[in-house]
A and B are shown apart, each in its own frame.
Chain A
Amino acid sequence: MIWILLVAHLVGVVAVLSLPNPRPAFAVALAAPLASAVWAASRLGGGETDTARLDWVEGLDLAVSFRVGPLGALLAVLVSGIGVLIFVYGHGYFGGGDRRGFAATLLAFSGSMLGLVWADDVWTLFLFWEATSVTSFLLVGTKSTDSAAVTAARRALLVTVAGGLVLLAGLLVLVDVAGTATLSEMGPVTGDQATVAAVLILVGAFTKSAQLPFHVWLPGAMAAPTPVSAYLHSATMVKAGIVLIGVMHPVLGAVDIWSGLGVTVGLLTMFWGAIGALRHADAKLVLAWGTVSQLGLMTAMMSLGSGKAIFAAVSLVVAHAVFKAALFMAVGEIDIRTGSRDLRSLSGLRTSMPVAFWVMVFAGLSMAGVPPLLGFPAKEAAIEASLKETGASGDLILAGVTIGSVLTVAYTTRLVLALFSDKGGESTEVAPFRWAAAAPSVLLSALGVVGYALAPSVTDWVVPAATTLETASAGYALLRWPGLDSTAFWISMGIVAGGAIIGAAAARHSSPPEPVGANNVDRLVDRTLDLAKWTTGRVQHGSLPIYLVVMALVASLAVIPFLGSIDTDQLHTWDRPLQAGMGTTVVAAAIAVAVIRSRIGAALALGVVGLGVSALFLIQGAPDLALTQLLVETVIVVGFVIGLGGLTTQFPANGFVWRSVRIGTAVLAGAAVTVALLASAEDTPSNRESLTAAAVDEGGGNNLVNVILTDLRALDTLGEVVVLVVAAMGVLALSRADTARGGGAPLSDDVRKVRR
């Protein structure tokens, strides 16, 4: 079933792209998420676990592996269920037009996210992690003509992909220390190596989940169309980091630095995100910063790692996905119907857009953690988890969560009050109501109430999910009414009261301060690009001879470590006298190449070198090598005919210095190759017999060389031909770039030099 659902996403992408008529694009796209959501929902609360595994290379422990337990099912319901609503919403949001490419990309993202939350193998996880980065880049850059959107997309891609590389490093270290790549088989690890892995993996998670100081990409990504923001930047992609921290908790939770780093960064992010949300006047940016803040709380809870904290984190993930998607959708609806998201100018929306108003109120109350909404018990759980921590660090955590929550209530209050207040003067004009754009948000905000009413059922879904991460999470519950003797309840009420006062005051502030600039990443990117240009200018100067000299020198340096491993006892003059004769010919021809002034003469002398070497192979008893060498020589001769056609008949005269450099380089390169050969010759192929036997038995051929190439070591060949294809495609691309740019492109200097 796991395979079917994942492949269904892929099939869906192709189907959407090949639709003859763009109208049903979103309808076709939502089929696969709908099926996944239904399947996952049917498993909620149940204890069964499904796995799917495809071993790729057993010896390297490489496999594509999925495991859907309670957590996988719960997250899949969020990812696919909200995905379905997003497709409906997208249909209303765009209101016609050709959106096949957009719908297909969104579906590809949805499938990647599903693969990510179901992955049971670190490499599978990483693969889908990167897939979400790439697809989200395409989605943020949907308006490819808008330079702000392109910059934002680039920023998001750079931050998340850089984080992905850090994560990759962390996973490599982790697999090494844990001894397996399968997540469900990993036991707890500690020690220095585990600490390194923990830090690297946390950094990876921070970039994806927009934690300080990597949060800068998220507000910028609001340049994306609202369906993208509602899906990626609230409910799904940014949760990937939280999920990663959760999945790694059983393995790395015991590492000292794990919870300290995660909680500190999480709480700071919660605070800073909330400040950002209070300062902005664009409703969507307020939500974006609010998301950063909420992600901070979830990161803190997930890395805190106690049973209650993990339970709180999973509950928050659920509650947040539901209310934040609703909030984004409502703001998007306001945006498309009024053409503005500015808190300072929108006026009279309470009467002109009542649906959006009530959606914002209910979803906002859930975000603020007010009963009777699902956000309340989740927030209560977080506060209780903080209360359980002892000592000074416990007090700090409680203070952090409390302050962050007060600010959360404040920015929520401010957002709703400012967005829907009457500013005096005329009311903002509002375009006609669209069902498809409003219905999903209504459903989601209603789910906040339903979720509260059905808190015991939600508990039944959340607890098994949390216990797969931390067994101590069993036994906790989402409480509709914790009772008046609960400390957490009074703290919670205090938070709501305090936040509401601050929020109301901030909402009356007619002109909020200008936003804090998040351009540091852009500046960093520009600097890096400048540096890259500078380096390129220095290194890629376009002189072919200098390239060759540099490459030869660097390659020569690489053999230095092998100098010591030459076995001089093995050296002898020749096996057969004919080799001496042939060798002399080769050397003489090589010297002739360097001395002859005529180009065609040098080419012929080079041909003699090649044929001589080919003859040496033959004498040595390697007919395959000899044949290949002979054919290569033949082709090279034709190549010379082509190349020399446009050149002068004589080599140009070189100055003494340049000539010496070239001769020196040539001698050095030759010496280096000699050393490399001598050093490797000592290593007698011990597995010759086994290879010979295997060639006939397994390969079914008597030509050992070819059986090795196409069967026994076919993976090497596969890699080589792929490299060949990539290199050749590069050649093609470069030459075509030259034609396309009218021959003035700096990249193709080499090509033109060769041509001249």
Chain B
Amino acid sequence: MIRGRSPVVRSAIRAASPLALLVAAFLFFAGHNQPGGGFAAGLVIGAVVALRTVAGIGRPQDATRWFAVGTALVSVVALASLLGGEPLLDQVIVSETLPLLGKVKSGSALVFDAGVTAIVVGLFVAVFDGLDADELGRDEVQV
């Protein structure tokens, strides 16, 4: 419906998607010390997915893959510390001075958070798949 009627909206969504992804990336990395984090980043990417669905532009299709990646990431972080004899989910923190970025401090929690992001995005894809939301982006669907 929207695709047929409003090229402006479609173009706007198309143009805004990379910017929104950038916002998501910012939120993701900012989460350590400022508001944001993996869940928020996942929501932003989810919103992008939703908008692209409505506009009938391509969007990620395979929710199962997102879940697989996300679950694998969180599980690896959770179990990795066991191998080192540490308790479950114990964090490893790395602090490095990099060119351009200056001092960067991060830990395995970042990977854990990436898993959370992937799962949240997967949830959106799954819901849109479940609702056959792609139908809405097609011209022939009448309101």
Contact = CB atoms under 8 A, between A and B. Distances in A.
Interface of A: 54, 56-58, 623-624, 626-628, 631-632, 634-635, 638-639, 641-643, 645-646, 698-703, 705-707, 709-711, 714-715, 717-718, 721-722, 724-725, 728-729, 731-732, 734-735, 751, 754-755
B80 interface: no
B40 interface: yes
Nearest to B89: A714
Nearest to A635: B47
A641 B54 contact: yes
A452 B113 CA distance: 64
Given A711-B109, A715-B89, A724-B123, A703 B37 contact: yes
Nearest to A731: B130
Contacts of B131: 642-643, 735, 751, 754-755
Contact of A718 (B44, B89, B124, B132): B89
B50 A646 contact: no
| Chain B interface SS verdict (over half) | helix
B116 A721 contact: yes
A706 B31 contact: yes
A610 to B, nearest CB: 13
B25 interface: no
Contacts of A721: 70-71, 74, 115-116, 119
B103 interface: no
Contact of B82 (A56, A639, A725): A56
A622 to B, nearest CB: 9
B133 A628 contact: no
21 contacts: A624-B35, A627-B36, A631-B44, A638-B50, A642-B50, A642-B133, A645-B1, A700-B106, A701-B31, A702-B33, A703-B32, A703-B34, A703-B36, A703-B37, A709-B37, A709-B39, A711-B109, A714-B78, A725-B122, A728-B67, A754-B131
Contacts of B46: 635
- Residue in A57, A714, A732 whose Cβ sees the most chain B Cβ within 10 Å: A714
Contacts of A707: 32, 109
Contact of A627 (B40, B53, B124): B40
Contacts of B67: 725, 728-729
Nearest to B123: A728
A701 B63 CA distance: 31
Contact of B71 (A705, A706, A722): A722
A701 B32 contact: yes
A710 B109 contact: yes
A724 B88 contact: no
Contacts of B34: 702-703
B32 A700 contact: yes
A639 B32 CA distance: 29
B50 A639 contact: yes
A645 B136 contact: yes
Nearest to A625: B35
A731 B1 contact: no
Contact of A635 (B43, B82, B119, B132): B43
A57 B82 CA distance: 10
A735 B54 CA distance: 19
B132 A735 contact: yes
A645 B131 CA distance: 12
B101 interface: no
A706 B87 contact: no
A731 to B, nearest CB: 4
A632 B130 contact: no
A754 B46 CA distance: 20
Contacts of A732: 63-64, 126, 129-130
A632 B43 contact: yes
Contacts of B89: 711, 714-715, 718
Interface in B54-106: 54, 63-64, 67, 70-71, 74, 78, 82, 87-89, 91, 93, 95, 105-106
Contacts of A641: 54
A638 B129 contact: no
B112 A710 contact: yes
A473 to B, nearest CB: 38
Nearest to B77: A714
A699 B32 CA distance: 9
A700 B35 contact: no
A711 B91 contact: yes
A735 B129 contact: yes
Given A635-B47, A718-B74, A54 B82 contact: yes
Nearest to B1: A645
A700 B36 contact: no
Nearest to B91: A711
A709 B64 CA distance: 24
B70 A725 contact: yes
Nearest to A56: B88
A699 B113 CA distance: 13
A715 B50 CA distance: 29
Contacts of A627: 27, 35-36, 40
A642 B122 contact: no
Contacts of B91: 698-700, 711, 714
Nearest to A715: B89
B50 A635 contact: yes
A705 B123 CA distance: 23
Given A732-B63, A732-B130, 19 more contacts: A56-B82, A627-B27, A627-B35, A627-B36, A635-B50, A642-B50, A642-B131, A700-B95, A702-B34, A710-B116, A714-B89, A715-B89, A717-B74, A721-B71, A721-B116, A724-B123, A725-B71, A725-B119, A735-B129
Contact of B36 (A706, A728, A731, A734): A706
Contacts of A715: 78, 88-89
A728 B50 contact: no
B143 interface: yes
Nearest to B30: A703
A717 B130 CA distance: 25
Contacts of B95: 700
A242 B10 CA distance: 69
B127 interface: yes
A700 B33 CA distance: 9
Contacts of B119: 721, 724-725
Nearest to A698: B91
Nearest to A714: B89
Contacts of B130: 731-732, 734-735, 751
Given A54-B82, A642-B54, A721-B119, A706 B132 contact: no
A638 B2 CA distance: 12
A755 B106 CA distance: 44
A718 B79 CA distance: 11
B88 to A, nearest CB: 6
- Residue in A631, A632, A734 whose Cβ sees the most chain B Cβ within 10 Å: A631
B107 interface: yes
A701 B105 CA distance: 9
B21 to A, nearest CB: 14
A635 B125 CA distance: 13
A311 to B, nearest CB: 40
Contacts of A711: 89, 91, 107, 109
B14 to A, nearest CB: 15
Contacts of B43: 628, 631-632, 634-635
B50 A718 contact: no
Given A701-B33, A702-B33, A638 B51 contact: yes
Contacts of B39: 628, 709
B105 A700 contact: yes
B109 A699 contact: yes
Given A634-B47, A702-B32, A702-B33, A642 B53 contact: yes
Contact of A624 (B37, B44, B105, B132): B37
A56 B90 CA distance: 12
- Among all A-B residue pairs, the 3 with the closest Cβ atoms: A735-B130, A631-B43, A638-B50
B53 A714 contact: no
